[in-house]
Chain A
Amino acid sequence: GAGVSQSPSNKVTEKGKDVELRCDPISGHTALYWYRQSLGQGLEFLIYFQGNSAPDKSGLPSDRFSAERTGGSVSTLTIQRTQQEDSAVYLCASSQGHARETQYFGPGTRLLVL
C-alpha cells in the first residue's frame, strides 16, 4: 500500500518568506510526527499528533513554527518568516498510535532558505 508522502520534495525560499510543508500519513495511522534533520544536529523531534490533537509540541524551535492536522489525516507544518538556520530536511512519520508502534517515515521535504 501507499506509504507516507510529503510535498513538496524540495523548496527554495527567500529569508523572511513563509513556507508550508505537507504530510500525508499512511491511511488509518492515528499518530503523526514531524522531525527535522540537519547537518550537525542530526534528526530532531518537532511535534507529535494523536488524531488532530498535538499533546507534545516540545520540539518546535520557535513560535515561527506551527503545525496542524485535520480530519485525523493530512498535516501541515508552517514556518513563518523563514531564517537561513531553518534550512534542513523536514521528515514526517506516522504510526498506528501506540507509543511503541513502528514509525514509518516519508521521503522528506528539503528546505533551503537563501
Chain B
Amino acid sequence: QKEVEQDPGPLSVPEGAIVSLNCTYSNSAFQYFMWYRQYSRKGPELLMYTYSSGNKEDGRFTAQVDKSSKYISLFIRDSQPSDSATYLCAVLPNAGGTSYGKLTFGQGTILTVHP
C-alpha cells in the first residue's frame, strides 16, 4: 500500500465548476501537507502549503487537512481552463532524521476544465 493515495482521475469539469481533489495518507508522522500543480511537460509548482488541521485559503484555492482521518483536500472554486493540469498532493514528516525534506507524493490527478 502506498503511503499517500490519490485518485489519478482523469477528472473533467465545465468552466466555473467547483473542483474537489483528495488524498489520504497512512503515516501519522506526516505533519506538513502540500499541493503542487504540474502543467504538461513542466515541473511541479507549489500551490498550497499547510501544517495544521483546518482550512487555508488562497484566492480560488482552499486546502483542507484533517489529521484525525489522515485526509487532505484541495478545492478550486470557479475553475478556469487554465487550471487544467495534474495536481499532486505531497506530505512531509516532522523535522529531524534523514527524511528531512523528503517529499512523498500522491499519484497526481489529471484535471481538465473545458470551456
Contacts and interface: CB of A to CB of B under 8 A. Distances in A.
Given A42-B107, A43-B108, A99 B100 contact: yes
Instruction: State the main secondary structure of chain A at its contact with B.
Output: strand
B60 interface: no
Interface residues of B, number: 23
Sort chain A's interface into a size bin. 20 to 34
A45 B46 contact: no
B71 interface: no
Interface of B: 32, 36, 41-46, 49, 88, 92, 95, 98-108
21 contacts: A4-B43, A33-B101, A33-B102, A33-B103, A35-B103, A42-B88, A42-B106, A42-B107, A43-B108, A44-B105, A55-B100, A56-B100, A91-B43, A99-B92, A99-B95, A99-B100, A99-B101, A100-B101, A104-B45, A107-B43, A108-B42
